[in-house]
Amino acid sequence: MAASDVKNTGSDGGTAPTRRGFLEDLMDPTCPIPIYAYRGREQFLEDFQHALDTYQSTSEWMLLTGVTEEIFRDEFLESEESPFSRLRSYDTEGQILLLRLTVSREHEAAASEFDHLLKNATERQGLRLKSYGGYHGMVEGGMVPDKAWRPLRLPRDRSTEWPSAVLEVSYSETRTKLMGDIRRWFYASSGDVKLVLIIDIDRHAPNIIIEQWVHDKDSGKKRDQVINISRMKDRVVVTGAPLEISFERLLLCPPSTPYESKIRIREEALREFADSIWEEQGYKEIERF
């Protein structure tokens, strides 16, 4: 079934579903993510290929409706077979599955390079982080992050289910999806995820925005910092640097010295990070000031 058959309604019967699950925000007609109804393994394989052929230039994602918990567990959750293994998040209430169609070079470069940045910053202070991907509380509304981190040693009362910090890279995503990702991490983990880092890459210009969101008991989430990195004519302009990450939120323990209170990624490192992404986008390196 083509995405257009279900795109406007989010169902295969012509009636819009009651808005219950967190992924239903992505079923708005203005959202560029294609939507298909699950009709068995063979039809899913055909639909996935159709979405890949038709929409990969505008979206990295695909939504699949009508996925019961039984189908999710039996066909997708532990599958190593592509495209069944490409799940990113499962909405139990809405019975909706979010899958990744493709990963761009820019997306992969951003996740990999930022992982190096953060590890280098912590190692300068004699600290070590564990970085990993994989599923986190998928049935509870979790998802697969671009990167996730936690300290090597966890507090005794801390669950191993959730990381302390996650990274979400946006290359073709709407603001609605990004805000949904942030809310979902904090809500599904009951606050065990302490911070979410967003890297928003402009597809059409050399511009990158880095946002740091933290868990807030009152409002659920709070934007703590914004950094803009842009190429303007013959120079790179950075505003909001350095990136300062709370030691206690990331390492889940208080710092032993005042120097440790923040994990800092300096402006020069952020410039080099941006250059590595722009190189993948085809922009030439330019003079730095």
Tens-digit pLDDT profile for residues 219-242: 789 999 999 999 987 889 999 999
What are the boundaries of each domain within the chain? 3-100, 105-281
Give the integer Cα–Cα distance in Å for 250 and 168: 16
**Where does the chain have alpha helices with state H?**
41-55, 69-71, 105-123, 175-188, 247-251, 267-281
Tens-digit pLDDT profile for residues 84-128: 989 888 888 889 999 999 878 898 999 999 999 999 999 988 888
Tens-digit pLDDT profile for residues 19-57: 456 788 788 777 788 999 999 999 999 999 999 999 888
Give domain 105-281's CATH architecture: Alpha-Beta Complex (3.90)
